[in-house]
């Protein structure tokens, strides 16, 4: 179990489903939800001593600021956020190019095509323990 996880997705339905799934599998003590990447970036910029999230689940296909823009902006966040927060791309895309582009960001540790499955959570837990 991680201390804090963040879900970023513009779909209320996807947020609901993913939140419930993470709750059922006791993935994190605290789960923070954002409907836009821009809101999540603003929050990460202004943590004011609050611990950054351990894991960020990020959708790629969103209006305004999409997942790739989030990843670009993530590199400009404070060092304590970048060093602690790992990103899991959780998207409806199964495009090989999207996957390659996502992994160009060193904080991306996993690429999952929706829906989130138990095997994804188990694999993620193993990766976190090994790190």
Using a pLDDT cut of 70, give the percent of the chain over it: 99
The boundaries of the domain holding residue 37 are: 2-130
Range 22-51 burial, b when 16+ CB lie within 10 A, else e: beebebbeebebbbbbbebbeebeeeeeee
Number of domains the chain contains:
1
CATH code of residue 66 = 3.40.50.2300
The DSSP letter of residue 106 is T
Q: Are 33 and 7 in contact (CB under 8 A)?
A: yes
Distance CA 121, CA 131 (A): 15
**Residue 131 pLDDT greater than 80, yes or no:** no
Please give the average per-residue pLDDT across 10-30, as a whole number: 95
């Amino acid at each position: 179990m991680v201390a804090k996880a963040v879900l970023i997705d513009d779909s209320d339905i996807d947020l609901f489903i993913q939140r419930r799934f993470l709750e059922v599998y006791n993935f994190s003590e605290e789960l923070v939800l954002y409907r836009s990447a821009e809101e999540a970036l603003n929050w990460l910029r202004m943590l004011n001593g609050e611990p950054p999230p351990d894991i960020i689940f990020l959708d790629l296909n969103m209006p305004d600021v999409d997942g790739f823009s989030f990843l670009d902006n993530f590199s400009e966040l404070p060092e304590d956020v970048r060093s602690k927060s790992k990103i899991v791309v959780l998207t409806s895309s199964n495009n090989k190019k999207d996957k390659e582009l996502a992994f160009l960001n060193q904080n991306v540790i996993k690429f999952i095509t929706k829906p989130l499955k138990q095997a994804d959570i188990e694999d993620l837990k193993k990766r976190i323990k090994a790190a």
